[in-house]
Structure formats: C-alpha cells, structure tokens
Amino acid sequence: MTKKKERVEPTISDEERLDAVKLLAQQINNISDASIIVLTGAGLSTSCGIPDFRTPGKGLFVNGSLDKYEVKDPTSIFEIGYFKENPIPFFERMKNFIATEYKPSKTHFFIKLLQDKNKLMRLYTQNIDGLERKSGVSDELLVHCHGKLHTSHCMHCKKQFTLQYLRDQMTSESEEEVQIPKCNVCGNIVKTDVVLYGEDLPDKFGECVFQDLKKHKNCKLFIVIGTSLQVYPVALLPEYAPHGTMRVLINRDRCGGFYNIQSAIRECDVKNNHLDLYLGGADQTIDGCVELLVRELGWEDELKELMENSTLVDLNNL
Ligand SMILES: [Zn+2]
C-alpha cells in the first residue's frame, strides 16, 4: 500500500488573478443580452454559516454518531430507500438547518445584480438552502438541481407545504427528539423537496439544460462558483458550454475541467476554443474574488445598495 501523494496546487499570484479579473470584467461588460450561465455549489453558502455536506468534522454527512441507526455510511440516511423506512435520522440531521434563518452572501447578491442588468441566462444551483431565491433571483431563471428545502410534499397525497409548516411540525419539547412532519390531510410523512440519493433530478433541470446548452448556443460566459464539480450530472455542465465560451472557476481548489489549469488564464482549450479563467486559491475567498470583480466592473455602489436596501424574499411564499 502506498501513501496517496499530496497534490501541490500551483499558486496564483495577485497579479495573475487581477489579469484574469480584468478579462472577466471586460467580458461581462461586453455582454448585452441574457447570456451568462452561473453554476453554484456549497462553497457559495459557507460564508453564510451553512454547513457543507462533506467537510470532515462539520459536514451533515459526516457529523455525529450513527451507532443507533445501524448504518455504515453516513450518506445512507440521505438515500430515498432508507428515508422511506426510517425518516428520523434525516430529520434529526437537518433539524438545525431547517430551523435557522440564513442570509445571502455578497456573491448571492452579485448574481442577483447580473439578473437586474439582464445579463443572466440561468442560475443552476446545487444548494438546497434557498438563498438564491431569498436574494431575489427569479424562479424562472433559477434551477435547483438537487431540489430545495423550502418546499415539501406529502409522500402520499402530494399536498405541498411551506418551510414554516415543516418547522412547526418538527418542533418538539425535547431538544433530543425530533418530530416527523405529517400531512394535515392524510397523516402521511411530509418530505422536503430535496433530492435524495436514488431520486431523479427535477424535470426543470433537464429541460433547462436542453434549452440553454443544447438547443440554443447563446451562452457567452459560464461561471462556476464554489463547487468541486464532483456530483454528476451537474458536474458535466461546463463541458456543454458552446464553442468559444469563456469559462470561469471561482473556487478554492481547481476541479473538473479546470483541474489542470496552471495559471489564472488558460487560452484556447484545443477542442472547444474556450478561454478558461481560474480565480481562487487557498489565500482568497469566493466573496473576496467577487469583490475584486465588482470593483473592476465599477458596480460597488450598486451592489452595496442592493445588499442594504433590498427586501429579502420570504421563502414561505410559494
Ligand atoms: Zn397527504
């Protein structure tokens, strides 16, 4: 057995990063129609205090003891088959997450600003926290690839319920115990619209991918934010970007098709003529990268105004 070799990430100098930011700002400025696709993941919401699913010691998949549930793998409790048999561990794990009101980050509002400027074609998010909607991104432009927490359905009669209903149902007098939310019509279990392992992705995902990346080839900029591109089929989306599209990764580590990018700028992927940019690195946060970009775009005041004065959308309004 050999020890896995630690990968040494090539460092990005501030100068290189700034060159990439300038190119990106130029592209965003040149875009005069809704032709930017954004793909986001857990890294977008970590600055909001939302637990990542996989971070050792903190993630929902790896946190806490599983002894009492007789499961070997923590992800089992997020499988639909297991959930149908025993939904208690799922709701126990999700209890605090469901009960807490989180606020969108600067990066969420930056994406909303792209929408306000009519530059956003679509936001594909892998996050279930609803913060994109809370920041004001419209339902039409938003695809919850892995479902969402803020709506639920009865598993039997399919009645839809709000986040508040779920919260009220789950409240119990004991800190330890969790109440399973039940339908007020037929009494069956209410499940959040989060996609569990073994469930299909929402229809909207396939429909929008077809519209945005296969039928029309109008995407001029593909921005990937805060995801390690490990979950399929979502991880493949940047590969579908049309010929000549600028693709950008804003993430701590290089990943997916950006894995081998050596510097902040990689010109012309041989096959698809992409210009790939990488903003990130261990010394820079996602919000920090977006700050650099917003400064370069001259949008600082607008973003500040948006963050301070916009009313957050109530996720209970279905
Ligand atoms: Zn029901």
- pLDDT of 19-68, one tens digit each? 999 999 999 999 999 999 999 999 999 999 987 765 555 566 555 556 66
Place of tokens 């695809």: 143
pLDDT at 85: 93
Q: Return residue ranges of the chain for CATH 3.30.1600.10.
A: 51-101+149-194
Q: Return residue ranges of the chain for CATH 3.40.50.1220.
A: 7-48+105-146+201-318
Which pairing describes strands 147-154 and 160-162: parallel, antiparallel, or unpaired?
Answer: antiparallel
pLDDT at 269: 59
Beta-bridge partners for 162: 151
pLDDT at 268: 67
Which CATH topology does 51-101+149-194 take?
Answer: SIR2/SIRT2 'Small Domain' (3.30.1600)
What is d(CA 122, CA 114) in angstroms, rounded to the nearest whole number?
A: 10
Question: How far does the centroid of ligand 1 lie from the alpha carbon of residue 77, in Å?
Answer: 22
- Per CATH, the number for 7-48+105-146+201-318 is 3.40.50.1220
Question: How far does the centroid of ligand 1 lie from the alpha carbon of residue 44, in Å?
Answer: 34
Question: How far does the centroid of ligand 1 lie from the alpha carbon of residue 174, in Å?
Answer: 26
What is d(CA 149, CA 40) in angstroms, rounded to the nearest whole number?
A: 16
Q: Hey, how many other C-beta atoms are within 10 angstroms of the C-beta on 39?
A: 27
Question: How far does the centroid of ligand 1 lie from the alpha carbon of residue 151, in Å?
Answer: 14
Q: Which residues are placed with Cβ below 5 angstroms of ligand 1, an ion?
A: 154, 156-157, 159, 183, 185-186, 188
pLDDT at 101: 92
Question: How far does the centroid of ligand 1 lie from the alpha carbon of residue 193, in Å?
Answer: 14
pLDDT at 284: 86
**Is residue 219 part of an annotated ligand binding site?**
no
Residue of 108, 146, 150, 274 marked active site: 146
- Is 146 annotated as catalytic? yes
pLDDT at 62: 54
Question: Which stretches of the chain score pLDDT less than 50?
Answer: 1-2
pLDDT at 2: 47
**Is residue 154 part of an annotated ligand binding site?**
yes
